Amino acid sequence: MAKYVPDITTNRWVIIAEGRTKRPTDTKLSGAQNINKICVFCPGLERIPGEELYRLGGGSPYERGWRVRVIKNKYPITDFHEVIIHSPQDKVDIPELELTQIELIIAAYRHRFIANSKMGHVMIFNNVGEAAGASIRHPHSQVVVVPRQITIDTLPLEPVVNVVRESRDFTVFCPDFSQWPFEVWIAPKTKGKYFGEIKDGEIEGLAFLLKETLNRLLFHLSGGAHLHPGMPMIPFKAGPAYNFYIHHGQNWYLRIIPRLVHRAGFELGTGIQVNIVDPADAAETLRQEIGG
């Protein structure tokens, strides 16, 4: 059971979720620490990890045949915490998956957003790499519902500037108010919508841009010529580390945050984030084509 503790003067909250210390981890691959030899998100073990809530693809609940599967998180942050397993494939994630599979993942996001909306604020997010907080390697996203009476410290949709690219329905851009180096936002051109209102045609467009944008980040942030020499950043050489989340409120957006830096004392003490890369420069880098 999650415990919500307020700070009365600032209306901020912490969630005390002691049960999460018991959750398994398999991202530490160094010998003895790798306690999870089998992956419970892989096909064939559907009965182990938790109550099945939803699936896309075929097969009966708790059987094989699914293409995307949603289960209850056994180690929840809040009372409603779900895991969306991206595909039956253990090591293939969005940058490499086929577009039709990514469309299914986003369709599952929409389904769970709508299904959980009456319970509170629906946070959908994806953690990739240990530095981004991932503990199970098999690619998955999470859905956490925060009760409405809990204030969420979140950003509204920022003005569209520093455009990386655009499609019929979406713009990919690096906001002037970027708190992290190379953070990228994908926002629908139609304003005023909640994510749950996304249409099938828009899901196709978002799947394409999400995959494409992640691949731009992976390419440009892997330590190549575009990371300036001497920059105090951790490139993706040893593997990518990033988060993305979908804004829960009106005027939704999808925000991708590469985890290239650690937060330090000044930022922790002031709440002011220091971004060492100008978002205009980040956009210029990301506009450059992938290849060669």
Counting residues that bind Zn ion (by CB under 5 A) gives: 5
Q: Which amino acid is at 12?
A: R
Q: Binders of Zn ion among 171-190, rule CB under 5 A?
A: none
Between 84 and 254, whose beta carbon lies closer to Zn ion? 84
Between 42 and 150, whose beta carbon lies closer to Zn ion? 42
CA-wise closest residue to 210 among 112, 108, 106, 63: 106
The nearest distance, CB 107 to Zn ion, in angstroms, is 21
CA–CA distance, 77 with 143 (Å, rounded to integer): 10
Between 87 and 213, whose beta carbon lies closer to Zn ion? 87
Element housing 100 (H / E): helix 99-116
Say which residues have a Cβ less than 8 Å from residue 277's Cβ, sequence separation at least 6.
178, 181, 182, 231
Tokens (6 digits) for 187: 């926002």
Which range, of 51-59, 88-96, 190-198, 220-228, touches Zn ion by CB under 5 A?
88-96
Q: Which amino acid is at 226?
A: H
Between 79 and 90, whose beta carbon lies closer to Zn ion? 90
* Residues 97-117 as b or e (16 or more Cβ within 10 Å = b): beeebbbbbbbbbbbbbebbe
Element housing 52 (H / E): strand 52-57
* By CB under 5 A, residue 48 contacts Zn ion: no
DSSP label of 239: -
* By CB under 5 A, residue 69 contacts Zn ion: no
The nearest distance, CB 92 to Zn ion, in angstroms, is 10
The nearest distance, CB 41 to Zn ion, in angstroms, is 4
Which range, of 2-10, 31-39, 93-101, 166-174, touches Zn ion by CB under 5 A?
31-39
**Residue 204: half-sphere exposure toward Cβ, Cα within 13 Å:** 3
The nearest distance, CB 24 to Zn ion, in angstroms, is 12
Cβ contact 127:133 at 8 Å: yes
Among 138, 140, 220, 248, binds Zn ion (CB under 5 A): 138
Among 15, 42, 92, 150, binds Zn ion (CB under 5 A): 42
Residue with tokens 């009965």: 47
Q: Binders of Zn ion among 199-218, rule CB under 5 A?
A: none
Which range, of 107-115, 117-125, 131-139, 234-242, touches Zn ion by CB under 5 A?
131-139
Residues that bind Zn ion (CB under 5 A): 39, 41-42, 90, 138
